[in-house]
Every structure is written in C-alpha cells, then in structure tokens.
Amino acid sequence: MAVTTTPTDDEADVLEEQLRGELLRPGDSGYDEARSVWNGMIDRHPAMIVQARGVSDAIAAVSFAREYELLLSVRGAGHNIAGNAVCDDGLELDLSRMRSVRVDPAGKTAQVEPGATLADVDHETQEFGLATPLGINSTTGVAGLTLGGGFGWLTRKYGMTVDNLRSVDVVTADGELRHASEGENADLFWGVRGGSGNFGVVTSFEFDLHEVGPEVLSGPIVYSGEDAPAVLRHVRDFNEDAPDESAVWTILRAAPPLPFLPESVHGVGVVIVVAFYAGSLEKGEEVLAPIREFGDPIADAVGPHRYAEFQQAFDPLLAEGARNYWKSHNFDELSDDAIDTAIEYAEKLPSPLSEIFFGQVGGAMARVPTDATAYPHRDAAYAMNVHTRWEDPAMDDRCIAWTREFYEDMRTHATGGVYVNFISELEGEESLAYGENHDRLVEVKTRYDPTNLFRMNQNVEPAA
C-alpha cells in the first residue's frame, strides 16, 4: 500500500488540534532530532512526526495514517538496527516521550510505557531489588526489544522478555485500544510476543519482576586474540553443564580503551569473556571459578557489581551515531568448525568498532514450547550477532560485504533461525526470524491489520 493521498496543510492542522503532544513537519524546530535514530546509516524524512504524549495521541496518529493511506512508522526509543522507526514521506509516530515506569513492589510487576529504555526500567525496579529479563545495552528501547523476543543476562534463569510479559495495551489498525493477555485477546497477545511491530502500537507493557541484586557477580575477562581457539572451546565446554543462574558470553574484537586494560593492548585483537551469575555472590564465585581460573588473561574485572550499573557497562561500545549493519545466526551448539570460522573472520574485522559476539541462552528460555509465543527459536543455545560498526560512509560497501560473507560462511553451522531484532534489512531473513510460527502470525495479522498499515517492521503480510 503506497502513499495515495497527500494531506493538505489544513487537514494536518486538524490532526495537530487533536494532539496533547506535538506535530512536527520539515523545517520545524525539533524535526531533525525526532527523525534521527541510533543507527547513523538511517537518514529518512517523514512528511510529519507526531510526538505522542499519551494513548489518545497514538490513536489520532494511527487513524490519520489509515484515513490518508500514509506510510506509518512507529518509534519507541529509536534503537532498532533496521531503522524502521522512521519512514520517508509518511507519518512517524514518535513514542519516545512516553517513558513512565510504574513498579508494584508487592505484586512484583511493572507497567512500562513504550518510550522507556532498559535504563529507565532498571532504575525504577532496582529501587526494590527487582528486575525483569531485558537486553545488554541500557539505551535499547523496551518496546522494540520486547516485540522481537528479548534476551539478556537473566534469560537463562527467568526466560525471555516475552516470557515475563503479563499483558499489553495495543492501538490496532482500526484505531481501537485493546487490552491483550492470556485471558483477553489471546491471539493478539501471542502475536506481540515476538511478532515485531506487525499488529499495532503497544502503549503499555506489564511485566513480571524477580528478585535480582542489587549486586551480582559479573564482569569481563580479557584474553589475547591468540588464545581465542582455546578460550572459546573452554567456555563452550563449561557452558554445557552450567546452571541456569550462569550466563557466559564471548566477544571477538579489537580491544577498546577500557580503563582496566593496559594501553599496549588497545586496538589489538582480543577475546572477551563476559561472566554473569544470577544468584548469591558466594555461589557465583564457586560456579564461575573454572572460567576465571582458565589460561593467562590480560585482565579480569569480574566482581560484585550493582546490577543496574552492569547493564550499562557495554554502552560505550554501542554508542549512538555510528553506522551499523548487523547479521545474526542461532546455534544449538558451537562446533569446532564454527569457532574456527568465527576466529578467522575476527582476524579481518573491517573496522575497529566491529565485533562478533556469541550470547549464551537456553535454560529457562528453552523450556517454553515453540508455539507458546510468536518467538519460535527455543532450541537455540547461542545467539550470534555480528556488530559491524564504522563511522566513514566511504567504508559502507566494504563493511557490508564482509558481514554478508561471514554470515554465509557461518550458515552451515547454524540452526537456520535468526533473531528478528538483529536484522538490518529485508533480504528474506524475516521468514527465518519467525520460523514455524509464521503461518499463525499471518492469521493474526489478517485479523488485526488486514491492509498492512503496520509494515515498517520485519513484515508479516496479511492474507490476500
């Protein structure tokens, strides 16, 4: 469905009068800031931007886009790698000012608005020693993370973000606000838990919370890149029998200028082992000892860290504004061949900002049936993400080509599934993201969005 009608200035003024928030058009103060997102490669120009202050603004924007057949994009915190938060020529619904987080300590739940970041949620929930499984970069938006599935340090112990979602409020394509949970609009609730933004604008998320922290045993151990074959195999073998409380991830990259690393290794290839334990500090020391005692690391910064601070520890490595192109694979195991291939490509990373990480998942996430939520990849033991990042636009072709080549060479070792939130562009990967749940997603899409109004996402097309 293309743009078929251009609203007049008078018609846009009518929309503006309905809003508690602001309507921005090209040339207005704040327009360029509102269309800028985390990935520096995205440079799109909406015809108008609704900066919503509440649910009524979201309803007005959706209804206006539907009436005038405008391309509609929806922005939470603007962190999505593909840049689907912004569209050319259509209407961008900007929810980034809706950032409320309301915690019920007794009931161990939190109500979260769609513009909130992980840092916003952690700040409020940790006041009560509570948390819900989120991602690993605190500037990530809760809305986009959740709609794609969501995994991080707590996933092995408490499941994915969607496994901890109790209910949502959704503005659907008809402009209606619907509450969805296991007991109400259950098909819609199933779809939003991993089906990306295909079904509407979520204006409120209700999460279960768990007792976490305030201190956790966590931190990085850094080894020379020459040690990568032995280190990655050791971590893999350790993870085979590790308890759910333990999550050990590995990263291949050039050493960043972190304060605990000697200057002599800055910019040199390293392997970073990031260890996390979701339990008592004493038990964590015992469980993670085999990881910390291995080999001859350059530095070991594992120790008691406040959970909310650890959630922000890697933010400097994923700062806003760089150019990003990512690829993703899931693995049910890390074979020797897969490890060797990753190391081979890590030795020729196309930029100093780029990295390859293997995030250990499984545990509680794996015990949820494949069809329980729209997110299907419950068999994954590891999720790989290729964070290809650079600053000079002249490097675009080289960086993208390297990423695609690496992705293809890792394909034979992977499960065939990919993580929807790590897809940079539409290249058929969306079908891999939804897997065997795709046909049911089509049914839900056809019911709630038969004209595909919400298509600025990893799209599920409705039935004809």
Domain boundaries, the chain: 9-94, 101-211+436-448, 215-422
Cis omega (within 30 of 0) for bond into 214: yes
> What single-letter DSSP state applies at residue 298?
S
Amino acid at position 401, single letter: A
> What single-letter DSSP state applies at residue 332?
S
Residues of the chain with pLDDT under 50: 1-4
Q: What is the pLDDT of residue 319?
A: 87
- Residue 39 near residue 72, CB atoms below 8 Å: no
Q: pLDDT digits over 164-219, tens only?
A: 999 999 999 999 999 999 999 999 999 999 999 999 999 999 999 999 989 999 99
- Residue 114 near residue 205, CB atoms below 8 Å: yes
- Residue 187 near residue 181, CB atoms below 8 Å: no
CATH code of the domain made up of 215-422:
3.40.462.20
Per-residue CA distances from 97 to 21, 45, 145, 397 (Å): 9, 20, 17, 35
Per-residue CA distances from 398 to 156, 394, 395, 404, 454 (Å): 36, 9, 6, 10, 33
Quick check: pTM over 0.85? yes
The C-alpha atoms of residue 161 and residue 364 are separated, in whole angstroms, by 11
Q: What is the pLDDT of residue 1?
A: 44
Q: Does domain 9-94 match CATH 3.40.50.2300? A: no
For residue 200 the two structure tokens come to 């509407």
Q: What is the pLDDT of residue 7?
A: 85
SS3 string, 2-56, reads CCCCCCCHHHHHHHHHHCCCEEECCCCCCHHHHHCCCCCCCCCCCCEEEECCCHH
For residue 440, count other CB atoms closer than 10 A to its CB: 18
Q: pLDDT digits over 10-38, tens only?
A: 888 899 999 999 999 999 999 999 999 99
Q: Does domain 101-211+436-448 match CATH 3.30.465.10? A: yes
